[in-house]
Copies of this chain bind each other. A is one copy, B any other.
């Protein structure tokens, strides 16, 4: 595993040449100062921190894991984690995109996302401590009372306190309607909360002075389904320093992200305060959840990048066999394996998915900024619609592709990829959970097709399609881009037709949408990446008019690779979707057998 190098050149390309955040940000109230220079200095500082502090802790963190002491119910994070977090706070990173009213630096998501990617690439297990904390910040910021905000936000913003999301219980993950944790009102307006939460990332640790748990629970008179869930703030320590009865019961033994403390959290009449309205906890929770889903996508992206860097470095150093067309380095005992077409296939797959994912994440970050700050309500709504539509795509498509990339990186290493010391297999293990948590990728697919596309009769999808259609129209006569624009326009039309077809089928048979969902999400993912690769090629061609530059040549070559070797997956997806639900539903449940 080579030292991680933050992809600053590609951040610059994506932010300033492709998405052109500077065309928009300075016009958003509050982001007037977020200039390209400011971005550059933040990105360089973050790169330095991630490369020099986080990345070196990653391998050892995996070996060491977190230690739980049952006597004190405390958790010790791996050596160096606490110090790195201290530095992170001193550098002001927890405050990066937080509200200046509470000590935040007020920077846009367009800056926060690349910073998040770097953290995920360098040390995903570590990145989850501040990541979860930021989720708690967002929920309190969006739904808390002024008093709650004044109490919690400054400490979450300066990083001296961290936060968690306590949703899952042993018998309920996806189906939060089954939630059992209960909240009994106290005379003083607080609640006594009792129950067991599992899979609580960063649930207990030694990195901060206090941990603010955001806990889903039921009020005594609440409806029994998801409409009867409320959200509570449950601090580990009260204001007066006394210990609340919320304790870590144990840590899970996991496949990966071992350096992140995945805790069982026992609440035994723990004192908490309602946040947001009673029985509206699910809506509050989604403030965190939507951000967390994008965060998962960033994990897939960052790990894909880390694996690509490792594999590329190895492919240039490892000498094995000769190029089929004749020795390329006859003076060496063998050629570096990068000469072999199948190795290049693996590297280019990593590169194409990673760079498109980076473009998508920049696109979405800017939409979040517009949704948050734009003075025009229609502009805010358009941005919100695009974010809503593409959040499940970013979560599932970017994590599935990140896992693929991590596996390909390991494969490039051959047998050495399976050996822990090289670090490539850790990326596979660390990435795997991103396909599962914050809603499995199967749930993302149903969210996309059912809720985001069919529920509004395709309105959000049509808005998105219009953007792609406009791009295709604008480039109709562009000979350089024809190889991309032609297939893209064709795919755009097909996605429309398929959406219509699935929608019609779903009216007859509720299972039709569930059966198509996973294929459909990959189809929309490819439509999105095909559009982004065409746009990246457009930018690259324009830049090349002023002189040769290997960076832009590589963009065009990678776009071609994507269209030739990855995009054809849509041919399979279309056929599979059209075969409908029957092939999945025909076999009686009890006749699955072994």
**Contact surface of A with B, Cβ cutoff 8 Å:** 5, 7, 9-10, 168, 171-175, 177-178, 198-199, 252-256, 305, 308-309, 312, 316, 319-321, 323-326, 333-334, 336, 338-348, 351, 407, 410-411, 414-415, 417-421, 425, 428-429, 432-433, 435-437, 440-442, 445-446, 509-511, 513-515, 517-518, 550-551, 553-554, 557-558, 560-561, 563-565, 568-576, 579-594
Chain B residues, CB < 8 A from A590: 550
Output the least CB separation between A61 and chain B (Å): 15
Q: Which of A343, A517, A565 has the most CB of B within 10 A?
A: A565
Chain B residues, CB < 8 A from A178: 319-320, 333-334
Given contacts A325-B509, A343-B442, contact A576 B589 (CB under 8 A): no
12 A-B interface contacts by CB (under 8 A): A175-B320, A198-B415, A312-B592, A326-B510, A342-B515, A344-B584, A411-B436, A411-B442, A554-B591, A557-B586, A557-B591, A564-B583
- 3 nearest A-B residue pairs (beta carbon): A341-B514, A564-B583, A564-B579
**Chain B residue at smallest Cβ distance from A305:** B594
Using A175-B334, A351-B592, A553-B591 as known contacts, list a sample of 8 further A-B pairs with CB atoms less than 8 Å apart, ordered by residue number in A: A174-B321, A174-B414, A175-B319, A325-B509, A340-B442, A341-B581, A342-B517, A561-B583
Q: B435 touching A411 by the CB < 8 A rule?
A: yes
Q: How far is the CA of A551 from the CA of B591 in the complex (A)?
A: 7
Q: B175 touching A420 by the CB < 8 A rule?
A: no
Given contacts A321-B175, A572-B569, contact A518 B584 (CB under 8 A): no
Chain B residues, CB < 8 A from A351: 592
Chain B residues, CB < 8 A from A344: 584-585, 587
Given contacts A420-B253, A446-B342, A564-B576, contact A594 B5 (CB under 8 A): yes
Q: A254 touching B515 by the CB < 8 A rule?
A: no
Looking at chain A's contact residues, the main secondary structure is: helix
Output the least CB separation between A447 and chain B (Å): 12
Q: A415 touching B173 by the CB < 8 A rule?
A: yes
Q: A345 touching B515 by the CB < 8 A rule?
A: yes
Output the least CB separation between A112 and chain B (Å): 21
Q: B565 touching A429 by the CB < 8 A rule?
A: no
Chain B residues, CB < 8 A from A441: 411
Q: How far is the CA of A590 from the CA of B336 in the complex (A)?
A: 12
Q: B436 touching A417 by the CB < 8 A rule?
A: yes
Q: Which of A255, A433, A581, A592 has the most CB of B within 10 A?
A: A592
Q: How far is the CA of A326 from the CA of B509 in the complex (A)?
A: 11
Chain B residues, CB < 8 A from A339: 589
Chain B residues, CB < 8 A from A323: 511
Chain B residues, CB < 8 A from A418: 252, 254-256, 432-433, 436
Partner of A255, one of B425, B557, B588: B425
Q: A174 touching B320 by the CB < 8 A rule?
A: yes
Output the least CB separation between A586 and chain B (Å): 5
Chain B residues, CB < 8 A from A509: 325
Chain B residues, CB < 8 A from A594: 5, 7, 10, 305, 308-309, 312
Q: How far is the CA of A45 from the CA of B514 in the complex (A)?
A: 43
Partner of A587, one of B348, B436, B583, B589: B348
Chain B residues, CB < 8 A from A579: 564-565, 568
Chain B residues, CB < 8 A from A585: 341, 344
Chain B residues, CB < 8 A from A557: 583, 586-587, 591
Output the least CB separation between A255 and chain B (Å): 4
Given contacts A254-B418, A565-B576, contact A518 B442 (CB under 8 A): no
Output the least CB separation between A373 and chain B (Å): 32
**Chain B residue at smallest Cβ distance from A354:** B594
Output the least CB separation between A226 and chain B (Å): 11
Chain B residues, CB < 8 A from A574: 571
Chain B residues, CB < 8 A from A346: 442
Output the least CB separation between A264 and chain B (Å): 11
Q: How far is the CA of A429 from the CA of B428 in the complex (A)?
A: 9
Q: A560 touching B588 by the CB < 8 A rule?
A: no
Partner of A428, one of B173, B255, B580: B255
